[in-house]
Structure 1
Amino acid sequence: MIKRVVLFVIDSVGIGELPDAIDFGDLGANTLGNIAKDQEGIHLPNLKKLGLGNIDGIKGVDPVSAPLGAFGKSLEVSQGKDTTTGHWEIAGLHLSKPFKTYPDGFPKEVMDLFESKIGRKSLANKPASGTVIIDELGEEHFKTGYPIVYTSADSVFQIAAHEDVIPLEELYTMCKIAREIMMGDHAVARIIARPFIGTPGNFTRTSNRRDFSLNPPQETVLDIAKKHELDVIGVGKIEDIFNGQGITEAIHTKDNMEGIEETINYLHKNNKGIIFTNLVDFDSKYGHRRDAKGYKQALEEMDSRLPDIMNAMKKEDILIITADHGNDPTYKGTDHTREYIPIVIYGPSIKNNVNIGTRKTFADIAATISDVLNIPNTGKGTSFKNMII
């Protein structure tokens, strides 16, 4: 009997364009495959042993003859390619309409209201790369004390501020004000605090980022598990993505390695239910910055720690490794990419060398978690429990 599921999201590690990728401007995107091609190979021995290379269509990662786990990939039903949409679908929701984006910046009435409520002007109000915008406007921010407000191709309202100019708690308060404003017709998926430190020409973003999300519109598998008195532990930015909804305990992490360490720490405890981990560095540090070499190195570093996770698991545990969207660092622009996500499942009670095929929705993961934990499902997705146990 399964008592605990470790749901492990390698943020943005897509494995090839979806059939509708052309509608999103993402024809030819393949995060993992193109990294392997660009970097002349990638060394992921532990993921390969579990079956990553056996998933149909993965380029650059060779299959093995007898994978230790079950494996497959999934289409996305929801209309989006962002973190919130992907995680919510993994947790059992479908979004029929994409979140609103602001490719030309935010309307005057929005910015006027925001500035009146925070008691100061703001800078930028345009789509931008987070590292580029602080290099461009950091010095002016220093002189004026005005926060830097920007967006991206995602549905986000981001506020960058130097920690010595606008203290963290004040920055978080500004984000809460923006969250109240960006609702209804102006609702965006996330308000993001983007603190940084350093001096002009040498600014660095810190790990004190915070996301202020919308509440999921319906129950997720997390809510259902919590209702049935199971633990739902969020590691990394999971608590932020679900705005705390359905979470019983959470810990924020500064980087991928800390996320892995905290996952292992929770595995050593006597919790039961769901440990939900997000490793965001792949997306934020390497995908958006179009750093294929850094992305490859981060993947290889994570892969080297997988045995530590597997060794910490109990016989009643299963591990599901997946992603939430793509972010091909070899692709044009700096946006996420519309891709299949990998699904690799491992555990003492999991059948070896099972191909679960191409799933029709990320929500199949939620349906399977409900099935193995013997709790109701969200009504979305189809369980693959009977294929793997």
Structure 2
Amino acid sequence: MRIVLPFALASAVQAAVSCGFDTFNYTETTIDKLQDAMKFIGEVLTGANHAQHYLDMIDQLNHNGPQLNAVIETSPTALAQAIAQDRNGTRSGLLHGIPILIKDNIATTGDGLTTCTGSFAMEGNIAPRDAFLVQKLRAAGAIVLGHANMVEWANWRTLTESVDWRYHPLLLTMFHTNSPRSARGGITKNPYVLTARTTGSSSGSGSTVAANMIPVAIGTETGLCPMGRTVADVARVLEAIAGFDPTDPASKDAPVPEYSQTYNALTSFKKIRVAISKEAHDITKNKLLSQAHIDAFNQGVEKLKTLGADIVYAPYPNAAAISESKCEFVALTTEFKVDVEAYLSTLTWKEGVTPMKTLQDITDYNAAHPDTELNVLDQSLLLLSLNGPNQSSSVYLDALAVCQDLAVTNGIEKYIKDT
């Protein structure tokens, strides 16, 4: 299905460049096409051309035109990095010459970017090193163009949201009241329907790819999530970033498949079992879904059947119990404070900037700057974490045990094994 963009946006994204051998069309392009364009002998379309094109698109669609608010900042060194890579003349990896945007909670250093999780409280910090993900991207030859917008603190900021924002009140009424936003980046807009809500917390990453401002981007959801226009592109990025991170013990024994090769080898859905929970299958009971949503879901299931997949309907265990137990919420409330303060302890700060060393420092900053940090969102979740249980408390340990039982021992892992 072809999606029709608003006229002004559609006009802006019909971008093509003449590169001697042909006209290269960047709209809806892929990693393979971008890299193939750099292989021609003679008048070559370079990685620097690619970087400049996407910087121009960010300027046209993010800072001007529809002002999508999907990109918080671009790197002042990105173009120079692309030029240096071109001059080197050798292919550096799976993502050689490919521009990419990363979410504003992924740290970089030495490239003029400041990782702030969407919060003004974090401006002026200096990360000690590139995040492991960024190290892997650079090693694979990717050019990190900048930080994508996000829901502030990755959706761990508020239990409630007000509708007082920086848009005209009439326009705001057309936004869902909990549209993804950050103090630093504003509300990320949906590039297809500018008044429609985008989801979060990786709203900026999704919007940039959807609007052709970037070929691929990285979001997060308790993990690192590549976004692209094709499955092949996502597989390529996932393969490039996978691996053991010495600072993340959970990744030690994780397998690192060759995702792109697996994708290329998969020519049929035959012999592949796809489990659909009975609860999800009976989506007619979901009052938030329109008939169009329901029809699209059912059409997707039928398409999988047509392609040869073995569809299995089975009850999803403990779905309601997990929600009712609030075990995940207790765990997140506790671990957020611990992990944020561990990260803050690694940072240095620019001269003249008040350093944020604790979660208390951050909530104090927000309270002291209501015009920028509290004019839209309260900080109820931050305060809950600040005053929540510690990791040695029975409340936290009991919550972990409940989550382990409901989600693993008798939950999703058992569900997959049994079906």
Normalising by structure 1, we get a TM-score of: 0.30
Greater strand proportion: 1
Kindly indicate which of the two structures has a greater share of residues assigned to helix. Answer: 2
Higher RCO (CA 8 Å, separation ≥ 6 residues): 1
- Structure label with greater radius of gyration: 2
